[in-house]
Structure 1
């Protein structure tokens, strides 16, 4: 803090010679004049630093002690401005910089979107641009409540949207709604749920309808699992009304699916036959400049483009990149037994991964890999757990007539 104050008010490096040096220091201390970084000199000189304000108080002390004072260096803001009085361009640039800083700080330079999964960030940014909310817009022109309302209107599946301005950033937080299947099926047509495949039921959670089976039992394709009819009973446990609903349930079955895959022992691989060569380019709008050796025919080119951007989503129309030229030759190879089994196992893993991406669980793997001199064959079965339940129309029956039944019984 002291160094900052000294820089703002100015300070000097001073040398005193001759006279009564010790008395000079004593008088400075007595009058509260601050000296620092004192250094003695073999020539009987004393060098120290002193502030500009205290330097002008040394006159009476110098006359009493007979010392000579020499200014060696000047430091601080006052001297900087004094040296720069003739440099008008510098002060003009400093003023222009301040004006630009004030102008640019009043605009939005980064639109940050978070929480979105279903709708991509570029898609939302494009929509905001159509609505007039884009990079460089004045902060006073942005109505955060209006921006949030427009996003909710455009994307109905969003449960909650918040927009706020922090500095030169517009931060939009999106929370996408999780809508239950029950809410979606309230106004839909009544139906039953039947099994889409043969299997064993491992789990069953019914939300609407009457279950017709239970976990642990086998089911056949087309078998009724959940009936979309509710039987309403009175106090006498008599059915007095049928209520039809859209059957809704999470039903999981365990079943086996066959797996078969062939892999040739022979394969081709691209081998580079020449050293790779690099070219570089700069692109600004429609202008394009490239340097490096031109590519040869039948070469593979890999282009890496790096667009310039000021903020997270504010890209400039300028980019630079690298082009790598490589020449390959296809060469045939023969897999070893170990390599073939590893490749076949990798293919099986990719197949299982695709199943799991669809929500299928792998319960057990009964696939065997066999190798002969021409082919690697993977065959067997996978035991999986998957969701089942296919909607089918329900046949409505006439409502029960308890009054008619009782009259018939009494007669």
Structure 2
């Protein structure tokens, strides 16, 4: 009897092992930049390719053809089945060239400043290096005059102005930080619960002796994510750990050092935004002073920018 149970268990184990080894237990997508991993997995789902399916039902060559047809901007696709995992490798290419606008327009100044340099490719230059310009003033006009042999204008054409014009401008920066403020402080009390999401159903596991009703304000820290994310979207099981930490508000006052640090961080972030908007060669230091119950940060920013506005 014992031997029969042993052999029966061994046969069941080998059967389960054989069954599990013949299925796909992970889909790995790599090489994509524009298309997300989730969108590609969703398409594979629509083609009945998913984690947990039988590995014998996958035709790698056919799947490569379908992926190239679905995503025209993918120049190279490789689908490889190795063990119990499916590897999908992509190489995206740029198909469309940027369309150029040829509508006749003039290049104008985006802000007040001084022209540092100007190079005209199409159109008529209206300013020179060293000229002071106002916002909206024409830098390169769309009008082009064609001069004949007798030095007379024989024709006027309207084109789209093209060229490189760099203007140096000055901007006055000011920021305010009140001295008194309300700061958040942790009380040390916290409660942890676990959330299991299966599809549209949620299961919460927590200690019923700890209640959140006494917490007037609290921070929430969430950790976790999808269970077995390498499988597929057909297994929407998420496990989250949520920690609720009680906080209370109390009055505080910024010291000069704290205020200077906060205002400097804001100023650095503002300069970073200016660089993202095409400004460069930024000059100017922040000055912090206290008056009327607030700290004020002021600076005079000198910057250069290539003009790109048309009218």
Q: Does TM, scored on the shorter chain, surpass 0.5? A: yes
1:374 is aligned to 2:293: yes
Aligned-pair CA distance for 1:232 = 5.7
Q: Which has the higher contact order (CA 8 A, sep 6+)?
A: 2
CA distance in 2, matches of 1:336, 1:116: 46
Deviation at 1:99, TM superposition (A): 4.5
Where in structure 1 are there 5+ consecutive unaligned residues?
A: 1-82, 153-157, 393-411
Q: CA shift at 1:238, angstroms?
A: 7.7
Q: Following TM superposition, by how much is the alpha carbon of 1:318 offset from its aligned partner in structure 2, in angstroms?
A: 1.7
1:217-228 alignment runs, 5 A limit? 217-228=131-142
RMSD: 3.6
Equivalent residue in structure 1 for 2:100, among 184, 188, 210 = 184
Cα distance, 1:287 vs structure 2: 4.5
1:358 equivalent in structure 2: 277
Do the aligned residues in 2 keep the contact of 1:295 with 1:325 (CA within 8 Å)?
A: no
Q: How many residues align?
A: 295
In 2: Cα distance, 1:110 partner to 1:222 partner: 55
Is 2:260 the partner of 1:344? no
- The answer to whether the Cα contact below 8 Å between 1:208 and 1:246 also exists between their aligned partners in 2 is yes
- Please give the alpha-carbon distance, in whole angstroms, between the structure 2 residues aligned to 1:387 and 1:134: 50
1:278 — aligned with what? 192
**Match status 1:163 vs 2:81:** no
Distance apart, 1:253 and its partner CA: 1.5
2:249 to 330, 348, 368: 330
- In the other structure, the counterpart of 1:79 is none
By how many angstroms is 1:207 displaced? Answer: 5.0
Q: Deviation of residue 369 (structure 1)?
A: 1.2
Is 1:258 equivalent to 2:178 in the alignment? no
Larger Rg: 1
Please give the alpha-carbon distance, in whole angstroms, between the structure 2 residues aligned to 1:242 and 1:312.
67
Give the superposition deviation at 1:282. 2.9
Identify the structure with the greater helix proportion: 1
Paired residue secondary structure (2:284): strand
Query: Mapping of 1:287-326 within 5 angstroms?
Result: 287-293=202-208, 294-297=210-213, 298-302=216-220, 303-311=222-230, 316-326=235-245
Shift of the 92–277 alpha-carbon distance from structure 1 to 2, 3 Å rule, reads closer
TM-score by length of 1: 0.61
CA contact under 8 A between 1:273 and 1:329: conserved in structure 2? Answer: yes
**Deviation, structure 1 residue 348:** 1.2
Q: Does the Cα contact within 8 Å between 1:352 and 1:362 map onto a contact in 2?
A: no
